[in-house]
Every structure is written in C-alpha cells, then in structure tokens.
Structure 1
Amino acid sequence: MSERFDTLFSGMSEETAMSTLLIAPSELSNPGLKYLAATRLGACTSSASLKRLLEAGANTSEDLFERITRRKALEALGRRKDPQALPVLMAALSASDEPTVVNAADALARIGASLNEENQASLLAALDGPDNQKRAVIQAFTRLGLPDKGDVIRALENHDNPLVSGAANAHAVQVACNLDSLEPLIAQLDDDNAGRRRAAVIDLGDAGRIEALDALIRCPVSMPLRAKSAFQIAKTAGGSIAPEAIGLLEQLLQDDPKDLKLSGVVNPGPAAEAIRNGLQHRDEAKQYAAAKALMDCPRTEQLAQIDSLQRDLGSDYGVHYLLASCIGLMGLHERSEQVRDALAETAPQYAKSRVAAAWSCLRLGLEDQRPLLEDLSRTNPWQPLQWSCTQVLAGMA
C-alpha cells in the first residue's frame, strides 16, 4: 500500500489497530479489520506497534483472514524499515503461501539491510516457486545489490515469462553491469500487453541506466509508475538529479499524449462516446490515445466534451488527471477553474492530478496559484509533485 494513501486509514487509531490485531477473526464483526489494522501500523513509529507487527508477521495460522493479515504485516514491516524485522521476514520466505513470500522478499529489499551468507541462501531458495515469487526474489537481489552466486538468476534471463526474464535482465544490468541486457527491457516497452509494459518500466528503474530514460518516458503506462522509475534512474550518487535527465523528467511529468509512443494504438476518432470509452479503458495506451483524440477536436468540441466528462466522470481518478492535463495542453483558459480545483485537491488518489494541474498553471499563466505551488514545492513528500512545482515556479519567474 503506497504511503500516499495512509490518510485513508487515519480514522483507525494506533491503539485500535494494535488491539484489533490481537482479536481472532471469528470474534470480529468484520474480520477484514485485522489486515486494515496491519496496514495502519505501517505508518506508525512506536516500538509497541512494531512488536505487534512482528507478532502478526510470524503468525503461521492457516485461517484466510490471518494469512491476509500476515501478508499485510510483512508489507508494513518493509515500510517501517527496521532491521529487527529480518528474522520474521527470513522465516516468511519459506511459507507455502506465494503472496506471503512475495511480501517478505519485497520488505527485505525495502529495509535494505545487509544479508549474511545464510540469509542470502534462504532468499535464493525462495526462487523455487511460482513466477510472481521468482520475480519478487530476483527484484530483492537487484535492489539489495546481491551477486548471482551460481548463475541461478542468469539462467532465468531467457525465461518464457517476461515478468521473470525482465527482472533477471534488470539484475544483470544493475549488479553484473551487463549493458546488453538493457535491450530486451527497452524492447518490452512496446509490448501490446499493458501489464508487460508496466513490468518493463519497473525493471528499467531497477536497472538504473540513464541510457534507457528517453524510451521509458515515452512508454504509454501511468505517469506515476514511469515517474517512480525515472527518478530512480535520474538520481545521482549524491542524491541530486543528473543534469542530463532534467529535460526528460519535465517531458514525462507534463505527459503530453503526443509525445508518447502510440503508433500501435488505434485512434478512437473525434466521436464523444469513443473518447469517453477510451479515457476509461484499463490500458493506459487507450486512455492516452483518447486524450490525444480530444486534443485534435475543434475548440468548441473540446470545451463541450470536457464539461460533459467532468460532470459524468469527474470522480474517476484517471479521467480527472487527463482532464487537468489536457486543459493546460490545449490552452483552454475558459476552464482554468478546473485546474485550480485539481491543484487544491488533497485526496491522495488525486495526487497525480495535482502534478498535471501544476504544469497547466504554467501553460495557462495562473500566477494566483503561486502560494500553493510554493507550499507544495517545500512540503509535499511525493517527489514528482514537489519537483514539478519547483520547475513550474522557475518557469513562471
């Protein structure tokens, strides 16, 4: 669960979450509260809440709700980044439940603690499982910078599942410094399958090579996913942004559909219903193709369609984002108020809309938004939004 969504669980106090974890699922009117409680404690810092998460992460009950709670507890321990969790996470690697092993491997990578030879061997043994488990284990090796002893990971570089081979190739690039393994990852950005494109974006972030940045930013998957990998790639050893990456990051965050690689996507045409359906599609390439079609419409139609979409689909996160972006890209000063509303939206699910709104403020010259942009540039914890506001303010100067 992303930290940006912690506010969704803020209604449950730390004390309530800790006590809920102690109650048997059968004694709760809503057993799902147990795993919500575990997620809630991922945002806490007390030693008491850490202890409760460790207990939940070590619970090997076969009860379905307890198993889900264990998975969420392991995920929360990764977020807490406390090395005290290592024994619990290492034990979870031998679980028969795939999601439990996946969450344990991911948590180990997030904590980033050094693993001794015995722990590395236990992590490598967890490769013996379903493909999603293989992928998570390889990602942990890559993110921890662990070598591939015995060429076990290397043997998976040509696996028939691109989710496995992609992770293995990212390891080859990042840890073994084999730049030839970048080629299949970049090629996968053009896959017809949206899930495989998303996986390639993640793998390129793990590979960490700036040579892939230009291709990555033009891949039609969600902006936040591309941004996460792009900032990962662009970050220097000193923590700053590499100068040669700045222009590419700005292009990514402005997210003009006309800059994306949409050559294999059918243009839905100018019909309002086709554009509406495209904007709601689960494949982001179809969403961007619909946004591009909207941008190609006559101005009067653009305004009419935006009004209709805002009225009927304004609460859809994806549509909300694309409208906030397109209003600026199309220079629709008549809908500036919509941009102001998007920039002021604090609900976490609309965070990417604030990025789009920031750039639209620059395009539309909304100088009255300077105070909010300045505040976001100083205080917002999400780097794509914080950095966008900083760049927009520089552009307004």
Structure 2
Amino acid sequence: MDKRFFKIFGLTEAQAIAIIDTPLEQLEDPTDKYIAVSHLINFPTEQSIAALVRAIETSNPAELDHRIVRRKAVESLGRLQAKSALPVIRQCLKDDDIYTVENSVWAIGEIGTKDSEILEEVSQLLDKPGQIYRVIIHMLANADYKSALERVQKFTQAEDEPTRSAAIATVCRFTGDYSQITEVIALLQSPNVNARRGCIQDLIDSHYYKAIPQIARCPVSLVFRLRALRMLLDAGVPTGEITFAEVQPYLEQVLYDHPNDIDLVHEYDVTPLLNFVIDELYQTDFGRCYLATKTLLDIYLQEAPQALLATYMDKAYNDYGGHYHVMKLLGWLKYTSGYDLLVENLHNREPQFQKSRTACAIALGELGDPRAVTELKTCLSTPIWDLKYACLLALDRLGDSSGREMCATDADWLIRAKATSNN
C-alpha cells in the first residue's frame, strides 16, 4: 500500500482524534472531521482505531456530512487492517447509503476474514438492488468464497462492463474453467476506460499470464500496465508458471511506452489542429492521450517541440498527466534542447510526478547525450523499481554498462534479473 499521499494534512494523532471527538456541529468546517479520519491512516494504534470506530458509531447516516465522515472512517479502518473493527464495519453492510456499503465491503476485504457468516452477508448484497456490484464480486473472489458462485454468475451478462468483467473472471476462478476469460481480455479494448482498467485487475487476480501481451498494449496509463506485469511476475516466476525472459520484452515495451506499441481505441475523423492535439494530452483517458502523442509524432513533427514547451510553461508543469506525455515526447522527438528540462524532472521527487521520472529516464536515453549517464546512475539507488529499470534501459541506450554492474546485487529480484540478463 502506497501511503505517500496520506500525510498531507500535518495533524498529530492527538489532534486528529480530538477533532473526531468534537461534534460535527461544533466544528468551524465540517470537512475537518473528514480530514481527521483520513489522517489517522498514519497512526496504526489502538487509539486511532477506537477513534475511527467512534466516528462511525456517533455519526447520523441521515445527514450528508455525517455520511461522508462515516464512509471515510470505514475506509481508514480497512487501510489500517483493523480486525478489532470488523463488528462495526459489518453493521455498515446494512446501510442504505451504497457508498458506505461499498467501503465496508472493501474494508472487510482489506482486513481479511474467513468468517462464513460475514462472507455470506456480503454475498447477499448481490441480491440487493442498486449496489456497486463490482466491489462486492471482487471481494468475494479474493476471499475465495465459492458459495457465492450462483449469485456471481448472474452478473456475467451485466450491461456494466467492469461488473461483467469481474463476474466472468470470478466464475473462471471458482470453477477452474477459463473458456470465457477471452470476454475479459476483449474488454482491454473497450471504449470505456474504467472497463479497461477493471479488466486488467481481473486478469491480475486470475493470474492469467497468457494475457500479458494484450495487457502491455492496452490504452491505459502505464501505471496500470506496469503494476499488472509486476504483480504477475511476482506471482508467476516463483511458481515457475512464467519466466522473466518471457515477460521481459513486454515489460520493456510498456516502460518505453511508444504510441505505436499501443492498440488505440480512439481515432480522429479528420486531421486535428495542433492546439486540439496538445489539449488532448491532458485527458484522463490515456487512450486519447496516446492517440494525440501518435498524431504529434506522425503529423506535427516539426511544430511539436515548441508547442510542447509552451504547454509545459502554461500548465503541464503542474498537471501530472500532461507532464508525463510532454516529457516522453521530448525524447521521441529527439529534442536535444530539452536536455536540462528532462534532467530537472528526472530528479523531481514530488509523488504525483513519479511516472514522469520514468519518462525522463527513457527520454534521456533517446536524446543520446552522454552527460545523462551520471544523472541516470544517481537514480539507481531509488526504491522505485520502475524508475530504476528505466534508468538501466536508458544507460543501455547510451552504451553504458556500469549501471548493470551496480544493480547486479540489487535487493529487488526483478532489477537483478534485468542487470544480469543478456538483453
């Protein structure tokens, strides 16, 4: 669990608990209590857990501000994996608020339980209208609660694609019959970005290694694809079901992240104007961003560098999605004047720009400037595996093998495997 973003509020544990124990009506801003219950994720203590339980028990589900705090308190207990809070979370399964129910199901899954009564209560939610069924199915699958099979099967024809994906994958896992898993793989090309992201998770959970090539080409952020390949490697290599050498080409394809290696699901009816294409780099659906990236490389090769620098100064410097695409494009465009900007952002430690550091490493390798060797090698001490791997790729591109020597005994088996491989 990545907790880098949970420390932005600066409260002490005692301050957060004091806010939680203050009636909502007495607070100057009702969002203070939401912040407090969020912040206690940083304090895995009995006091914090007890305070979060009180936040649930003293809330009034009939009032919106109370419901919002209640939902978040349940989520925080899940993140803390607070087993002692299971009884109060279980009671929240009966809430009329579907988002509280959703968080409760998720929290129970995070905490983990083999209690058949609790799992049956969760399963019965599949019979209740209006619920967020994907979360329920996902939790039951990970709990290996096969008694829910009949209820889950009803959702294999669901209109909602993420729900249908979860149901099909779960039925495959429960029955051992993977003949229908192709329907999940097909959703990697759905126009619905949430379906694309969801089915990747379902393929991870199913340990369906045969889908790795298709996952690598799925038009979603490389964050989702890298996570998938890493989790499948970590699961499959120790058991001998897959090898690093088999997955290595796909892993490196994702790290390079060139739009020609993506199966795009969007297209333009007519050749778009440059300003429109630049604006598309900020879309939350990365499928549209990859189409824009490809268009810049195919059509606006000469105009693109200056347009990218302009959009960087305008808003990409502060937008982590657009920032990533600008950094990567400077490399594909061989824009040597972008060297200093790439080096600066290679060392940008702000958590929201983490994937941009990987983009900068790849881009520096594309520029071919030998000055980058030293900069890239300084990043080999990072705990961020994908950045380290990207630096090794870039160093190889620059003809430097000393990075491999440095990483030959790395603590991460995957980095060791790359460092000692022939490719």
TM-score with structure 1 setting the length: 0.89
Alignment match, 1:126: 125
Alignment match, 2:421: none
CA separation of 1:27 and 1:79: change in aligned 2, threshold 3 A: same
Instruction: Summarize the alignment of residues 321-340 of structure 1 with structure 2, pairs less than 5 Å apart.
Output: 321-340=324-343
Alignment match, 2:37: 38
Give the residue type in structure 2 aligned to 1:330: L
CA separation of 1:43 and 1:254: change in aligned 2, threshold 3 A: farther
Whole-angstrom distance in 2 between the partners of 1:389 and 1:109 = 36
Number of corresponding residues: 391
CA separation of 1:369 and 1:26: change in aligned 2, threshold 3 A: same
1:276 CA displacement: 1.6
Alignment match, 2:293: 291
Alignment match, 2:215: 216
Give the residue type in structure 1 aligned to 2:157: N
Unaligned runs of 5+ in 1: none
Whole-angstrom distance in 1 between the partners of 2:4 and 2:338 = 28
Whole-angstrom distance in 2 between the partners of 1:88 and 1:203 = 29
Instruction: Summarize the alignment of residues 218-367 of structure 1 with structure 2, pairs less than 5 Å apart.
Output: 218-236=217-235, 238=238, 242-243=243-244, 244-262=246-264, 264-266=266-268, 269=271, 271-297=273-299, 299-314=301-316, 315-365=318-368, 366-367=372-373
1:127 CA displacement: 1.9
Give the residue type in structure 1 aligned to 2:171: A
- Work out whether residues 131 and 164 of structure 1, in 8 Å CA contact, stay in contact via their aligned partners in 2: no
- Work out whether residues 282 and 321 of structure 2, in 8 Å CA contact, stay in contact via their aligned partners in 1: yes
Answer yes or no: is 1:92 the counterpart of 2:92: yes
Alignment match, 2:204: 205
Whole-angstrom distance in 2 between the partners of 1:214 and 1:96 = 42
Whole-angstrom distance in 2 between the partners of 1:83 and 1:388 = 39
- Work out whether residues 283 and 289 of structure 2, in 8 Å CA contact, stay in contact via their aligned partners in 1: yes
1:239 CA displacement: 9.2
Give the residue type in structure 1 aligned to 2:255: L
Return 139-148 or 55-64, whichever deviates more: 55-64
Instruction: Summarize the alignment of residues 126-165 of structure 1 with structure 2, pairs less than 5 Å apart.
Output: 126-130=125-129, 133-149=132-148, 151-165=150-164
TM-score with structure 2 setting the length: 0.84
1:139 CA displacement: 0.5
Partner deviation per Cα, 1:309-355 (whole Å, 9 max, x = no partner): 11112222211010111222333222122222222222222122122
Say which SS state the counterpart of residue 303 (structure 2) adopts: helix
CA separation of 1:59 and 1:222: change in aligned 2, threshold 3 A: farther
Whole-angstrom distance in 1 between the partners of 2:230 and 2:211 = 12
Alignment match, 1:375: 381
Say which SS state the counterpart of residue 146 (structure 2) adopts: coil
CA separation of 1:172 and 1:311: change in aligned 2, threshold 3 A: same
CA separation of 1:291 and 1:239: change in aligned 2, threshold 3 A: farther
Return 325-334 or 231-240, whichever deviates more: 231-240
1:99 CA displacement: 0.7
Whole-angstrom distance in 2 between the partners of 1:374 and 1:356 = 15
- Work out whether residues 16 and 39 of structure 2, in 8 Å CA contact, stay in contact via their aligned partners in 1: yes
Return 356-365 or 248-257, whichever deviates more: 356-365
Whole-angstrom distance in 2 between the partners of 1:388 and 1:177 = 37
Alignment match, 2:404: none
Alignment match, 2:414: none
Say which SS state the counterpart of residue 157 (structure 2) adopts: coil
More contact order relative to length (CA 8 Å, sep ≥ 6) = 1
Whole-angstrom distance in 1 between the partners of 2:270 and 2:284 = 15
Give the residue type in structure 2 aligned to 1:368: T
- Work out whether residues 268 and 274 of structure 1, in 8 Å CA contact, stay in contact via their aligned partners in 2: no
Give the residue type in structure 2 aligned to 1:286: R
Identity of aligned residues (%): 26
Whole-angstrom distance in 1 between the partners of 2:348 and 2:147 = 46
CA separation of 1:190 and 1:263: change in aligned 2, threshold 3 A: closer
Return 83-92 or 233-242, whichever deviates more: 233-242
Partner deviation per Cα, 1:363-388 (whole Å, 9 max, x = no partner): 33521213431221xx34xx544554
Unaligned runs of 5+ in 2: 402-423
- Work out whether residues 327 and 360 of structure 1, in 8 Å CA contact, stay in contact via their aligned partners in 2: yes
Partner deviation per Cα, 1:48-104 (whole Å, 9 max, x = no partner): 112212322444522322211111111112221232232222222221111111111
1:392 CA displacement: 5.1
Say which SS state the counterpart of residue 75 (structure 1) adopts: helix
1:295 CA displacement: 1.8
Whole-angstrom distance in 2 between the partners of 1:277 and 1:236 = 39
Partner deviation per Cα, 1:283-303 (whole Å, 9 max, x = no partner): 322111111112224654232
- Work out whether residues 327 and 335 of structure 1, in 8 Å CA contact, stay in contact via their aligned partners in 2: yes
- Work out whether residues 266 and 291 of structure 2, in 8 Å CA contact, stay in contact via their aligned partners in 1: no
Alignment match, 2:183: 184
- Work out whether residues 155 and 167 of structure 2, in 8 Å CA contact, stay in contact via their aligned partners in 1: yes
For the aligned residues, what is the CA RMSD?
2.6
